[in-house]
Amino acid sequence: MCGIVGYIGPREAASVVLGGLKRLEYRGYDSAGIAVLHANGDIGVSRAVGKLHNLEEKLAAQHLEGHIGVGHTRWATHGGVTEQNAHPHVSMRRRVAVVHNGIIENYVELREQLLAKGITCASQTDTEVVAHLVEAQLECGADLMSAVYRTLPVIRGASAFVFISPQAPDCLVTARLGNAGGLVIGQGEGETFVASDIPAILEYTRDVTFLEHRQAALITGDGARINDLDGHPVTPKLYTIPWDPVAAEKGTYRHFMQKEIAEQPRAITDTIRGRADFNRGRVRLDTLALTKAEARALQKIVLVACGTSYHAGLVGKFMLENLARVPVEVDYASEFRYRSPLIGPDTAVLAITQSGETVDTLAAMAEGQAQGAKLWTIVNVLGSQAQRISDGYILMQAGPEIGVASTKAFTSSLVDLYLLALSLAELRETLSDAELRSGVDGLARLPDLVGRISEQGDRYDALVEAFHRREHFLYLGRGINYPIALEGALKLKEISYIHAEGYPAGEMKHGPIALIDPLMPVVTIATQDHVYGKMISQIEQVKARGGIVIGLVQEGDTLVHAKADHVMTVPVAPPFLAPVLNAIPLQWLAYAIAVRRGADVDQPRNLAKSVTVE
């Protein structure tokens, strides 16, 4: 989950790389560092523990000057959080510097081999061994690209690297093994950028390509020459990223999460754009070309995802089974790959992933592909690994999501699942013309309905003041709102560090009701649907035991208002779109409580935006 940036061109490399790292800080930030190739052939390095501003202060005094450089924000895996373990790592004779994302599984064995040759590692990291191995090849007369080629075969594990060397004063070399998080290469005028994520280079270029597994690239200011590790040239696919640089900025907002909750009306508008034909009452998904025959032959869809994306899948099950009448299983990606799933050519494995780089989800996709299933993905990042390996994809079109806590990507995922359900319903003829038209019409007002609850305002202040010090929360939902209870609990726990649990409301009497006490707020999602009455009795059961109820209800509700201690309100929406609205007050509640507790909202402890290691 580390952040990598590399640069070669006419600008000062240290400045470009530091700016890129700032846009990647959400990926992991125990420490950071930059290495630059000085004109005199030396490698200048600056590293600092903690947030990027510590590195920035060191750089102000160090003056790393040069036009080729690499940088790294570290999320520690091997070796503690120390300056010595921060990247970039430099080889013993300072002939090469390297930044790395991923894990070298056999680094202990490699380190022992180096020690036997008199080469000692200064750090506790796995990465450092690669610097020494490449240097050894350079000393045998290899150029930098050849030295990297000769080194990679002895490395086990998924990794992405960028190398610079005084012996290669006009290029940098990058390489990728496995799914260790992407490597994007951006092309400017006489300058080239490398990064682990698109936001790092968006201010300079939107013309990019991506390094695939077992590929390496020699990069100059004029571009990248990519080969596979057998030395065969590769013609990469070029993409133009549809995001503007401002989209990856915080703007006037205090946190990225605040901005991304607030911009959900626009994000959902963009998700719908070009897909919902309101005149014909139909949905068109051009990037998931499916014939009627293929849609009718579909026996099962397995949704695989992690975290918030998994919760989206649980909601999607209701949409796909009720509208398209296709059986759906939903699996944590990290579980799916180990349960010997019963899938085959009549199954579609649909991965839901904002980043498109989550290693568990990519592994689940590989399992689906190995079993001959169709491979689809709902993904936010064009050019990400998940999008590139799938047979068909639906972009979330939510714009870059920087905050570690996923918000707009979640609601955009729900809309994509709804679009897919309507599209399959038409192909499988499970809905009448009128039902299809009604389903599509429901999307027309969705951005407006979302807009009515997407500004934070002061509507949550009383709840925040009352409950921001509580140690436990319980979230209850039924049916299509049970996943929203899970999502609300995840939002709160991951940014405020309060223990929060989501539970199916019907399960309370089978154990959790023993937890009820006046100290634990119980958030109950009780919007008008076929289980509303059950939720009313659930609220009564909690109140009867002295519990505190925060009801999430639709406008016009009176029953819950009469029973609950506090109420959050959303506009009335069609049943399958109500979860889109219901998630938003829970996003705001988690955000406001975390801010009130002084938590680091955009960079919660121990978390990273894209989980690219197992």
Q: Least Å distance between CB 605 and ligand AGP?
A: 13
Q: If binding is defined by CB under 6 A, does position 406 make contact with ligand AGP?
A: yes
The residue sitting closest to ligand AGP, measured at its beta carbon, is 307
Contacts of residue 243, defined as CB under 8 A and 6 or more positions apart, other chains included, come to 198, 202, 206, 399, 400
- Interface characters, 343-362, with ligand AGP (x: CB under 6 A): ----------xxx--x--x-
Structure-block tokens of residue 43: 């490698």
Q: If binding is defined by CB under 6 A, does position 198 make contact with ligand AGP?
A: no
Q: Which of 2, 121, 171, 306 is catalytic?
A: 2
- Interface characters, 479-518, with ligand AGP (x: CB under 6 A): ---------------x------------------------
Q: If binding is defined by CB under 6 A, does position 397 make contact with ligand AGP?
A: no
Count of residues interacting with ligand AGP (CB under 6 A): 15
Q: Least Å distance between CB 96 and ligand AGP?
A: 32
DSSP conformation class of 341: -
Which of positions 283-342 make contact with ligand AGP (CB under 6 A)? 306-309
Residue 306 is a catalytic residue: no
Does residue 321 contact residue 328 with C-beta atoms inside 8 Å? Answer: yes
Residue 2 is a catalytic residue: yes
Q: Least Å distance between CB 181 and ligand AGP?
A: 11
Q: Least Å distance between CB 411 and ligand AGP?
A: 12
Distance in angstroms (rounded) separating the CA atoms of residues 240 and 27: 23
* Cβ atoms within 10 Å, residue 550: 22
DSSP letters for 194-236 = EESSGGGTTTT-SEEEE--TTEEEEEETTEEEEEETTS-B--P
Q: Angle CA(281)–CA(285)–CA(291) in degrees, nearest 5?
A: 95
Q: Which helix (H) or strand (E) holds 532?
A: helix 532-544
Q: Least Å distance between CB 599 and ligand AGP?
A: 14
Does residue 63 contact residue 36 with C-beta atoms inside 8 Å? Answer: no
Q: Which is nearer to ligand AGP, 27 or 176 (CB)?
A: 27
Nearest to 482 by CA among 529, 450, 420: 529
Q: Least Å distance between CB 60 and ligand AGP?
A: 33
Q: Which is nearer to ligand AGP, 354 or 454 (CB)?
A: 354
Q: Which helix (H) or strand (E) holds 112?
A: helix 107-116
Q: Which is nearer to ligand AGP, 377 or 423 (CB)?
A: 377
Residue 299, φ and ψ in degrees, nearest 5? -95, -25
Q: Which is nearer to ligand AGP, 91 or 406 (CB)?
A: 406
Distance in angstroms (rounded) separating the CA atoms of residues 555 and 570: 6
Rule CB under 6 A: which residues touch ligand AGP? 306-309, 353-355, 358, 361, 404-406, 494, 610-611
Task: Tell me which residues are annotated as active site.
Answer: 2, 609
